[in-house]
Amino acid sequence: MLLSLGCQTMREGVIATLIFFIAGVLIVLVGASIVPELWHLNHIVVFAGFLLLLLAPIILVSTFLLSVLPKAKERMDKCEH
């Protein structure tokens, strides 16, 4: 089921957000300082980094919105914290 949220899905959403954020920051730094300006390659790499930085909060917000669905509280109460 696509909209099912459990303990595993909540953890995966937070970990994916962290990975996207760190990767986005690293790719922006690499694109701004290391990648040459040949064929505007540095702008393409920085744009890809900004896309990852944009996707990080989208994943986190969508995980939060799934957690406030009516039946999500019952499933989340069964989690071991």
1-50, pLDDT tens digit by residue? 556 667 778 888 899 999 999 999 999 999 999 998 888 999 999 999 99
Give the three-state DSSP class for 36. coil
Where does the pLDDT of residue 73 fall: very low under 50, low under 70, confident under 90, or very high at 90 and above?
confident
Amino acid 75: pLDDT: 72
Amino acid 49: pLDDT: 97
Mean pLDDT over residues 52-66, rounded?
92
Would you tell me how many other CB atoms lie within 10 Å of the CB of residue 41? 12
Amino acid 78: pLDDT: 75
**Residue 8, burial from CB neighbour count under 10 angstroms (0-12, 13-18, 19+):** exposed
